[in-house]
């Protein structure tokens, strides 16, 4: 029987896999203490994980105490979000550690509903989160978040983000009347997007989720060239025609060197609310196959459930409307997986130095 040692502890934790990052917990160990046959371990995850830290600590403790030579293990698991590398020579946005774009390539797959619930799920996991509705022609996040009134401008140049359910949010939908059509050409649309992004006073965000319009047009090109994006998420349904366009969105991000964190399959199955019969009305497993073929993560699947639609229409999306439900837990698992995959990317090396003020005393 080998006595307890730091090498033994790290070796044991290298066999315990984090289900969200796919990495061993040993890679996240910050410190190890050994006192005879008692050990203490400090683990720090690189993503918001309020819904996982207790399970991670329990798994690590069980693995350690099952090892001969370790009689007792005390395990502490915390998390911290870092800023990660963005594409090209772009500089990160002030006040925003990471921007995650959510795209579909095709309309009608529930991308905006996934975007708002992803943002709310990241917030439920403990992160500071913002949501930008980049669909200028068909904004919907103001309705999904139940936003009302107009944003405040403290200086006549910038605007305060709207607040809802713990999120900071901005959409062209809060600046115009709901039934006003945006009859604009491409350059005006892209200018409006950049103003919404840069003129909003985002406050110390861990993540800013950008809900993209469908397609690979002006907005997407502007995003890839001018907006410092840390990663992207592709939303699709299992249907072949949706997967065709989802692959185009994937190809677009790869061309502009934005890491694709994974694929979310929405409307994966339908469960009848009357009889309970489950049916794959749009096919089955298309998102998982796409992810496997592309060599990226499959972040999870979501059902076609009437509650998701109703709650979004009512301005209180699923994650906050029924936080203890299986649906909300699915979104939270997808959020942890998304943030965990981002945590594996290279960190942004830009360093913010403190301001030094010299005063006569």
Do both 237 and 300 map to the same domain? yes
Contact (CB, 8 A) for 248 and 106? no
Beta bridge partners of 84: 347
Dist. CA 122–CA 129, nearest whole Å: 7
Q: Which residue's entry shows tokens 């309309």? A: 107
**At 57, which helix (H) or strand (E)?**
helix 53-65
| pLDDT given at position 96 | 96
- Which string of DSSP letters, residue by residue, matches 326-339? HHHHHHHHHHHHHH
Task: Point out the residues of the chain with pLDDT beneath 50.
Answer: 351-356, 361
Cβ pair 274, 303 in contact under 8 A:
no
Query: What integer pLDDT is reported at residue 360 of this predicted model?
Result: 57
Residue 188 pLDDT? 85
User: Do residue 122 and residue 219 come from a single domain?
Assistant: yes
Q: What is the number of domains present in the chain?
A: 2
Inter-helix orientation angle 326-343/111-124, to 10°: 80
Q: Tokens 């500071």 — which residue?
A: 128
CA distance 15 to 66: 12
Residue 258 in marked binding region: no
- Inter-residue contact 268 to 291 (CB < 8 Å): no
CA dihedral of residues 306, 309, 311, 313 (deg, nearest 10): -140
Residue 189 annotated as binding site: no
Q: At what angle do helices 306-313 and 111-124 cross, to 10 degrees?
A: 80
> Do residue 322 and residue 248 come from a single domain?
yes
* 186 and 137 belong to one structural domain: yes
d(CA 163, CA 152): 11
Q: How far apart are the first and last CA of the chain?
A: 65
Do 232 and 315 share a domain, yes or no?
yes
Instruction: Single out the residue of 51, 53, 52 nearest to residue 77, CA to CA.
Output: 53
Q: What pLDDT is attached to residue 238?
A: 87
* pLDDT of amino acid 146: 93
User: Does 105 count as an annotated binding residue?
Assistant: yes
Asked if 26 and 131 sit in the same domain, the reply is no
Which ranges of 145-295 would DSSP assign to H, the alpha helix? 186-198, 218-226, 240-255, 286-294
Same domain, yes or no: 249 and 316: yes
Q: Identify the CA nearest to 269 among candidates 288, 282, 250.
A: 282
pLDDT of residue 353: 40
Contacts of 215 (CB under 8 A, 6+ apart): 105, 106, 107
- Does residue 284 lie within any of the structural domains? yes
Same domain? For 18 and 104 the reply is no
Residue 187 placed within a domain: yes
* Bridge partners for 45 per DSSP: 79
166 annotated as belonging to a binding site for a ligand? no
The pLDDT value recorded for residue 183 is 74
d(C-alpha 124, C-alpha 105), whole Å: 28
Nearest residue to 299 via CA among 332, 328, 269, 262:
262
Given this model, what pLDDT does residue 214 score?
Answer: 81
- pLDDT given at position 355: 47
Residue 108 assigned as binding residue? yes
Answer yes or no: is 188 within a domain: yes
Are both 252 and 135 inside the same structural domain? yes
| Inside any domain, residue 357 | no
CA distance 293 to 309: 31
> 109 labelled as ligand-binding?
yes
Show the domain range for 247: 96-343
Instruction: Tell me if 255 is assigned to a ligand binding site.
Output: no
Give the pLDDT confidence score for residue 343 in this predicted structure. 97
DSSP 81-142: ---B--STTPPPPTTEEEEEEEE-SSTTS-HHHHHHHHHHHHHHTT--EEEEE--SSS--HH
User: How many CA atoms lie less than 13 Å away from 210 in the CB half-sphere?
Assistant: 28
**Residue 91 within any structural domain of the chain:** no
**What CATH number is attached to the domain comprising 322?**
3.40.50.300
Q: Is 40 annotated as a binding residue?
A: no
Q: 106 and 38 in one domain?
A: no
pLDDT value of position 354: 47
Residues 55 and 170 in one domain: no
In CATH, what number is assigned to the domain containing residue 39? Answer: 3.30.300.130
Closest residue by Cα to residue 70 from 78, 79, 61: 61
């Amino acid at each position: 029987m080998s006595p307890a040692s730091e090498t033994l502890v790290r070796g044991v934790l290298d066999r315990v896999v984090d289900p969200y990052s796919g990495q061993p917990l040993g890679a996240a160990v910050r410190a190890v203490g050994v006192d005879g046959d008692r050990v203490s371990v400090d683990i720090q995850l690189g993503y918001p994980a309020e819904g996982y830290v207790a399970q991670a600590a329990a798994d690590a403790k069980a693995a350690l105490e099952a090892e001969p030579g370790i009689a007792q293990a005390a395990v502490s698991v915390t998390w911290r979000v870092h800023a990660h590398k963005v594409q090209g020579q772009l500089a990160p946005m002030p006040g925003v550690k990471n921007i995650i774009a959510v795209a579909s390539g095709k309309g009608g797959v529930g991308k905006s509903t996934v975007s708002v619930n992803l943002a709310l799920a990241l917030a439920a996991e403990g992160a500071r989160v913002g949501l930008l509705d980049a669909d200028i022609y068909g904004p919907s996040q103001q309705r999904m978040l139940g936003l009302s009134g107009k944003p405040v401008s403290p200086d006549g140049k910038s605007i305060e983000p709207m607040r809802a359910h713990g999120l900071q949010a901005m959409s062209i939908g809060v600046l115009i009347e709901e039934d006003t059509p945006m009859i604009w050409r491409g350059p005006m649309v892209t200018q409006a997007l950049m103003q919404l992004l840069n003129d909003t006073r985002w406050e110390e965000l861990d993540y800013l989720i950008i809900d993209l319009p469908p397609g690979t047009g002006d907005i997407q090109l502007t995003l890839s060239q001018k907006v410092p994006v840390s990663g992207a998420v592709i939303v699709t349904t299992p249907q072949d025609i949706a997967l065709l366009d989802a692959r185009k969105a994937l190809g677009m991000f790869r061309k502009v060197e934005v890491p694709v964190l994974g694929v979310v399959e929405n409307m994966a199955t339908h469960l009848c609310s009357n009889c309970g019969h489950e049916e794959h009305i749009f096919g089955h497993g298309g998102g998982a196959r796409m992810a496997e073929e592309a060599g990226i993560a499959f972040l999870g699947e979501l059902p076609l459930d009437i509650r998701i639609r109703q709650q979004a229409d009512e301005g209180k999306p699923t994650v906050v409307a029924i936080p203890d439900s299986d649906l909300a837990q699915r979104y939270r698992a997808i959020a942890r997986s998304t943030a965990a995959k981002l945590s594996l990317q290279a960190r942004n090396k830009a360093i913010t130095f403190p301001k030094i003020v010299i005063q006569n005393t």
